Structure 1
């Protein structure tokens, strides 16, 4: 009998809370003694200019997964905005045999603006504020999620627990 390896991939627009919720899920899994890894997929492909970002993501994630799997990791918590079906396909190819549940985090636009203002500054803040609505719309149009979770004003621990309950 083979061991089922599960992953939750948190997607959503800018400021939806993907990284924060992923980190909180990691804390919950840590407390329960479950072998897990939290991977912010943006960091595996942040490069430029004019690079094949998704090809690099797939290659880097496959290499990292190989190492985590050898170490006994059986649960993955992933975070990245998915804008096109090909983005999810790249993650699936990098994680063969892993059961991936995609959860889209949402929040009210004013809440997202507050989050962006608290974490970003200068040109990055200006860019994120101007891109916010279109970026969120792209994630919504992609509709790659299995579940949608509101991440507005509830404590992050509650949001993380809800995501975990959906994943099983």
Structure 2
């Protein structure tokens, strides 16, 4: 089972939060607030925060901007992962990914099943890597954001987490882009 190796020093990562919604604004972005609160409580740095409409081109544009920004290590989006016609966040993410983290969606489903049973099947949460940046698309509910952060992302973004974690491989995520 996983554990925290107290002999290692915590390394904060820089995380941008993207809320995808046609109806939310800064005043009522509960899911975005949930993520920001947890990111900061864990000791990480909020690199940026935006709200965009459920428009694939707007989502792609913002994701690309952050992937190309050296001040962002991780992008977490919330909203637009469902099955309706306006839910295009997953497609936008996959347009950006160089590599998909296939197990993220599976693990998220397992975590969700414990909380909401078979309704977990309606989420298309996803994760991937592009340009040395991690990207994760979470559902738009505060509960889903809590579950994803508490059960998956917080441990994986803690360098002390053993047996392995996302932080320790960050320096090698873009090694294929470097000149040989």
The TM-score with structure 2 as length reference comes to 0.39
Which structure's relative contact order is higher, taking Cα pairs within 8 Å and 6+ residues apart?
1
Higher helix share: 1
